[in-house]
Amino acid sequence: MANYTKLNYFDVKKISEQFDLGEISDFKSMGGGSANSSFIINGDKGKFVLSLCDEKKFNEVKSLAELLSYLEKKKFPTSRVIRSKNGNFVESYENKPILIKRFIEGNTSRELDISMLSLLGSTIGKLHQISAPKYLPQFFPYGVDYFSEVISLKPSHSFSIWLKDKQISIKEYIYPQLPRGLIHGDIFYDNVLFSKNNVSIIDFEEASNYYNIFDLGMCLVGTCNQEESISFEKARSLIDGYQKERELNQYEKESLQLFAEYGAIATAFWRFRQYNLLKPNNLRAESYKEMQNLADKISTIPNDQFIKEIF
């Protein structure tokens, strides 16, 4: 991530004073996001993460802070937001929303082993048993309901033609009986921190009240992607861990393959829109093809084989 907002020591010190973080010894820029400028701050009151939200509006950041506070009360392992001296979770700097979170010790891993995936699955199962707050959106922020944004702007592009076909099939084959609730929506490996036998899921920016199975489908794409397909061994471990906390019903089991494909399609859509329309980037302009190819590969697997291999 290239930070959109540059801060020096005096900027960070001024911001930290709003949140009573103590004397600041040093800070450094972080990588990993796409809509924030984030920095690690070391001070005599601990280690913190400062996020300047370059793309989100104040009301969106306030909703995120409320959700993180809510999850803390539910004892879910994720980021802990810090209130300012004014009692607010969100303050302003250069007309941009600011959020301060306690730093979480842990590491991301591109290659998750079986035990890590089982632990992650169990943690997602716990998340899905937490009631969704009323303020969460009822649609996933870059789900099927938004595909038309690209289709209408680039109707003749090969990706738009492919995306329109996928949009129709997704809407046609989603069971109306599928359970909905609080989902993260973007559980890729880089949003999961491991420390000893603990796991934390971070970056709830895309959280919504949506199909529970979507979280698992997206997570298969983000953590079990192997050799341009889904590793059944890894997927089995993730789902086994999940079902120790929450049993999937028959509709969800039958839909898991569709939602794994959907997760890859949604990610391809986000990459195409982000790097070809919203913030054109020649180096990433074709990054959507990785997820487009993965979606096509998942769709070719016979559904009975997919179910048999994982369940």
Is residue 108 included in any domain, yes or no? no
User: Residues 173, 292: one domain?
Assistant: yes
109 in a structural domain: no
Tens digit of pLDDT for each residue in 9-32?
888 888 888 998 888 889 998 854
What are the percentages of helix, strand and coil residues in the chain, rounded to 5?
45, 20, 35
- 182 and 269 part of one domain: yes
Res 53: pLDDT: 85
pLDDT at residue 294 in the model: 98
Domain assignment present for residue 1? The answer is no
Q: Are residues 173 and 272 in the same domain?
A: yes
Q: What local confidence, expressed as pLDDT, does residue 33 receive?
A: 54
Whether 304 maps to a domain, the answer reads yes
- Indicate if 164 and 34 belong to the same structural domain: no
Asked whether residue 144 is assigned to any structural domain, the reply reads: yes
Question: Is the confidence at residue 263, as pLDDT, over 50?
Answer: yes
The structural domain count of the chain equals 2
Q: What is the CATH classification number for the domain harbouring 69?
A: 3.30.200.20
Q: Are residues 237 and 123 in the same domain?
A: yes
* Same domain as 227, residue 133: yes
Q: In this model, does residue 1 exceed pLDDT 70?
A: no
**62-75 b/e with 16+ CB inside 10 Å = b?**
bbbbbbbebbeeee
Asked if residue 136 is part of any domain, the answer here is: yes
110 SS3 class:
coil
- DSSP annotation of 107 reads B
State the pLDDT at residue 108.
95
The boundaries of the domain holding residue 190 are: 114-310
Give the residue with greater pLDDT, 303 vs 31: 303
* CATH classification of the domain holding 187: 3.90.1200.10
The band of 54, judged by pLDDT with boundaries at 50, 70 and 90, is confident
The residue out of 102, 135, 160 marking a domain boundary is: 102
pLDDT of residue 258: 98
Q: 165 burial class (0-12, 13-18, 19+ CB within 10 angstroms)?
A: exposed
Q: pLDDT confidence of 34, banded at 50, 70, 90?
A: low
Q: Which of 102, 130, 164 is the last residue in one of the domains? A: 102
Q: If you average pLDDT over residues 156-162, what whole number do you get?
A: 98
| Confidence grade of residue 6 (pLDDT, cut at 50, 70, 90) | confident
Same domain? 245 vs 274:
yes
- Give pLDDT, residue 32: 47
Query: Is the pLDDT confidence value at 35 over 80?
Result: no
Is 76 in the same domain as 52?
Answer: yes
Tell me, yes or no, whether 149 and 236 share the same domain. Answer: yes
